[in-house]
Structure 1
């Protein structure tokens, strides 16, 4: 019962377990079914689909792209229902709330009655969407089944040329082999990123445009070979996966004590972030990956700090870019608050020190340069803890330089919705106050031990709404009891500072420097 409950709490496509994700890709790749799903049901434009046809595993890219928009497993389940696509529905059934299981039974009855031919989607009728707020888009709250797919645009496909396929979540899905059922398949030899002219183009463009990328002469970090990283991770074994983020998979080093083989990179405990393997013949994807890697290298190489994750080296000579970091033995703050890995509960004093260190790192990023560096994705899973539970800010894939004063308009909203303020989601005005707001949500997490977004809460699924639903006299009810009773007054301080940081209007939120001083002086 507990296992089934855990399954149905998996909300997003990228939460699917490895095996199910792999099998789903196989179903969609068969007979090019992915094209029907992408074009007719996910409303992807023609240029995107033409690009995907050149990929060895196009279904993976379709799911990654849709997953990046935080579409849910249930939404995919409903799409398959409309297609009468039984096999993937059966695969997803354990991860869908029982109230939607009748859709699978409908398909079963249909298949039993007659031979089925896939229906063409009605481009002019209103489709139905699941009544759960999508965590990447602002939507009105609705109940049960509501609009699943937006009405198909009547504009021609060429009007969507500028649709960007950047920063998709990565879940390792190997190519199926006819002679093996092994899910842990890796290519025997890496295909190098040998076309360094692309690197030159990117670095020259970045210098011309004065953006956050760097020229090759500015690289002071050592380079590692891709092959030695393959060895260090036991050929990218899924057993060595530490986490899967929006754009990459992070591996720990492989150590085989029985064979006396030390897989650590240079005898140093590290974590290796590997970007998604792409088709080297596709310059677009290659440029995207290198740009994302360069952005993170530039930031971590130019702004070292005791509360920023140390970057040791990088690799660009293999089939995909890789970054090598110091290993954080205690995982993320999110891991610690959820007691993953049999970790001990954090005390109030430990939580306070984590908050202080995180605020110190953020105010440093905002003030060290001529222009503030906005992290853009502050959340508990991006705050990493070392052996001594000291926090390090990680994952700078969404970081952007902000304006010298006030804010600026951006064309694309990046980040995780439960940690983003409404004014940013609606007006797209980027400023340091975005990080301040996100930090306020982290303070709520530290105080309550609750998720920033929890669909199982009957009301107030967003943590900010949940916390502010309790008045001052009742707030003790939401205190995280796992933190103990010693120094529990820190709980109130977290709530008060969280309220300050998450004010509705940006002008009413503080900069991170006074937030750090407040925390440090408590």
Structure 2
């Protein structure tokens, strides 16, 4: 069961418990690894009359975490009262955690390896097959590295990425330390399941440095981090485009492997859509150009080679903006080669739930139309500035919120941006085509790009 599928009464009871004595703060900072700024933002929810714990669960649910994972984190906190609320929602074999010592490595390994219990946020170089079970290799120009078995020393096997990097330069770890003032906390841009992103100055150039940090748990989880980084190196080395995030270099010589990107001072599209500073609110022409640039990057990935490269995790958080608000698609850790036509069936699901279509979630049918669907949700985000998923709406998923809206759709327009009704309607109309229930009814990204360029 995913966090966003929790029954209302159990979720409310859990939040009431975590709100007491501010238990949510320890859960967020020490166990979910959110940064200090996020914890401070959660605290402010209390003064607005909202539950900080409920908002924390919303944030965590965006990454497809499960009730079982939350149960394990609460066991680490020895928060048995909260665990009792979740007990009926998890498998009996985990109930012993309420009485026994937390931090069981074998349990965490089970969590990472069970594809049936969660949508993995790490890439899987998995076998795929067509409907007639014909074997198809997922290895192409982007994914042709051999997949070594996980090693007991975990992330040290990142050394195998050298072959993947091609002409991308290897950077000494010490230079990256110096560029971030010894990994100063004030340089942190964000955190994720992979580790931490720092802002730095390297070779007199502002950069963003993804420092990949070893996860607690099984060697398999560290191996997955390595494979995600290897996949990203392959993709960014093989696919270069004005709307794809440039990779400047990588480092494998220090205690933690790093990837070094162009620093995008405009921030993520997700951040800009929800920013409160009126002077930084995106205008309607800027929003349209961001949509066009992203579509241009996606159609490039889908058409540049014999077989399309499917990004697999298109969302506003993975679209970064430069100083002129030109978009760059980032985070290729989940990218996979797709079929030339129709779809393939994959053995595992990956991505972010509010952006994924039913045929992928339910039947593991993987095609370029998965990216098309995800992009449609992004168009709705651009038009409305609403979250892709929110517990505060009757229709929690933005796709349903927009498509099922009764009345004038202009009522959903982001009120902070003046005018722009034609831009708004164009974005929404094209978005609705992209999120059609049947994959075959969705347009290819080349068609979406042409349609967006016609909006005025």
Question: TM-score, normalization: structure 2?
Answer: 0.70
* Alignment partners' CA distance in 2, 1:312 and 1:17: 38
* Alignment partners' CA distance in 2, 1:317 and 1:230: 12
The answer to whether the 8 A contact 1:315-1:323 is kept is yes
2:91 aligned residue: 150
* Alignment partners' CA distance in 1, 2:431 and 2:145: 42
* Residues 19, 491 of structure 1: alpha-carbon distance in 2 compared, 3 angstrom cutoff: same
Aligned residue pairs, count: 364
1:221 aligned residue: 168
2:193 aligned residue: 246
2:400 aligned residue: 465
1:163 aligned residue: 113
Output aligned runs, 1:7-406, within 5 Å.
20-21=27-28, 23=30, 69-71=64-66, 76=71, 80=74, 88=79, 129=86, 147-152=88-93, 163=113, 205=146, 216=163, 219-253=166-200, 264-277=201-214, 284=220, 287-339=223-275, 344-406=280-342
The answer to whether the 8 A contact 1:229-1:265 is kept is yes
* Alignment partners' CA distance in 1, 2:173 and 2:25: 24
What's the secondary structure of 1:336's corresponding residue? helix
* Alignment partners' CA distance in 2, 1:306 and 1:167: 29
* Alignment partners' CA distance in 2, 1:419 and 1:66: 13
Output aligned runs, 1:496-515, within 5 Å.
496-515=429-448
The answer to whether the 8 A contact 1:334-1:381 is kept is yes
Partner of residue 493 from structure 1, selected from 417, 426, 430: 426
The answer to whether the 8 A contact 2:356-2:370 is kept is yes
* Residues 147, 476 of structure 1: alpha-carbon distance in 2 compared, 3 angstrom cutoff: farther
* TM superposition shift of 1:317: 1.0
* TM superposition shift of 1:396: 0.7
Partner of residue 354 from structure 2, selected from 418, 425, 429: 418
Cα RMSD (Å): 3.9
* Residues 506, 278 of structure 1: alpha-carbon distance in 2 compared, 3 angstrom cutoff: closer
* TM superposition shift of 1:87: 6.2
What's the secondary structure of 1:243's corresponding residue? strand
* TM superposition shift of 1:309: 0.3
1:12-60 Cα distance to aligned partner (Å, 9 max, x none):
xxxx99865555599xxxxxxxxxxxxxxxxxxxxxxxxxxxxxxxxxx
* TM superposition shift of 1:232: 1.5
* Residues 463, 362 of structure 1: alpha-carbon distance in 2 compared, 3 angstrom cutoff: same
Partner of residue 482 from structure 1, selected from 395, 411, 416: 416
The answer to whether the 8 A contact 1:335-1:381 is kept is yes
* Alignment partners' CA distance in 1, 2:410 and 2:111: 53
Higher relative contact order (CA 8 A, sep 6+): 2
* TM superposition shift of 1:225: 0.8
Question: TM-score, normalization: structure 1?
Answer: 0.62
* Residues 268, 167 of structure 1: alpha-carbon distance in 2 compared, 3 angstrom cutoff: farther
* Alignment partners' CA distance in 1, 2:62 and 2:291: 30
* Alignment partners' CA distance in 1, 2:203 and 2:70: 45
* Alignment partners' CA distance in 2, 1:361 and 1:25: 32
1:34 aligned residue: none
What's the secondary structure of 2:237's corresponding residue? helix
* Residues 151, 324 of structure 1: alpha-carbon distance in 2 compared, 3 angstrom cutoff: same
The answer to whether the 8 A contact 1:376-1:400 is kept is yes
Pair 1:432-2:432 in alignment: no
* Residues 72, 482 of structure 1: alpha-carbon distance in 2 compared, 3 angstrom cutoff: farther
The answer to whether the 8 A contact 1:203-1:214 is kept is no
* TM superposition shift of 1:370: 1.5
Q: What 5-or-longer segments of structure 1 have no aligned partner?
A: 1-7, 27-64, 90-102, 105-120, 122-126, 130-145, 170-201, 208-212, 254-263
What's the secondary structure of 1:376's corresponding residue? coil
* Alignment partners' CA distance in 2, 1:484 and 1:475: 16
| Bigger Rg, which one | 1
What's the secondary structure of 1:381's corresponding residue? helix
* TM superposition shift of 1:76: 3.9
What's the secondary structure of 1:425's corresponding residue? helix
Q: What 5-or-longer segments of structure 2 have no aligned partner?
A: 1-14, 34-59, 95-106, 123-142, 149-159
* Alignment partners' CA distance in 1, 2:207 and 2:25: 23
The answer to whether the 8 A contact 2:319-2:327 is kept is yes
